[in-house]
Amino acid sequence: MIQLKEVSKIYKMGQEKVRALDHVDMCIAEGEYVSITGPSGSGKSTIMNIIGCLDTADTGSYILDGISIEEYSENDLARIRNHKIGFIFQNFNLLYKLTAEENVELPLIYQRVKAAERKRRVKEALEQVELSHRIRHKPAELSGGQQQRVAIARALVTKPSLFLADEPTGNLDSKTGEEIMKLFHELHLAGNTIVLITHDPKIADEAERKIAMRDGKAREVVSW
């Protein structure tokens, strides 16, 4: 599903150049559960942005589902982000004026899904994360764990082929984090591909495979 070949990314910080990624090779097959781990500044976020089609590499190639990203137009990339990838972020990225139900519905509105189908899929997604009893509540009325469940439901509702999670337990206490990780295991058992970005070794260890980042380089962790 995901293949990075010799991917490099350099950012300019004033007069200085920072090599965020240094000739990274990476393969992730459909249905895998992979964690990408490493300290702050190791290149994790840059890898996430490239895999999620939020940014592009300076050199090297990114092949998604057998097609090089370079062959896609901006409209194609927007469609990939909206249909193929379910994003889950540390800060939840919910709209605070909208209810849980409305937040989950939003990507379906962008996809121009009909109202009756939207309602059915939103209900199904919120039930899957065990939050159907809080659908009328706005984010400020929900706990951090509940907000993350809404964010996961929002990712689920578009039926993506890839879930891309960036520090999904970073703002949660340990018990709530464990509950969220259980949800990811359930998603994986259902056949979904999951790429989990984390600095926490314990969270990273829950994946099938672990890729360690350091100084912009990636290496497979064979056993841990």
Q: What is the pLDDT of residues 30-44, one digit of tens each?
A: 999 999 999 888 999
Q: What is the pLDDT of residues 15-25, one digit of tens each?
A: 888 899 999 99
Query: What confidence score (pLDDT) does residue 51 get?
Result: 94
φ, ψ of residue 85 to 5 degrees: the values are: -120, 130
Instruction: Write out the residue range of the structural domain in which residue 101 sits.
Output: 2-221
How far apart (Å, rounded) are the C-alpha atoms in residues 10 and 46?
Answer: 10
How far is the first Cα of the chain from the last one, in angstroms, to the nearest whole number?
25
Q: What is the pLDDT of residues 116-136, one digit of tens each?
A: 999 999 999 999 999 999 999
Residue 4: which residues within 8 A CB-CB, separation 6 or more? 24, 25, 26, 27, 47, 50, 51, 57, 60, 61, 62, 63
Query: What confidence score (pLDDT) does residue 224 get?
Result: 44
Q: What is the pLDDT of residues 103-115, one digit of tens each?
A: 999 999 999 999 9
Nearest to 102 by CA among 157, 34, 176, 167: 157
Enumerate the H helices of the chain as residue ranges: 44-51, 74-83, 100-110, 115-128, 144-156, 174-189, 201-204
pTM above 0.85, yes or no: yes
**Residues 4/60, Cβ–Cβ less than 8 Å:** yes
CATH number, domain of 205, equals 3.40.50.300
Into how many domains does the chain fold?
A: 1
- Of the two residues 71 and 194, the one the predictor is more confident about is 194
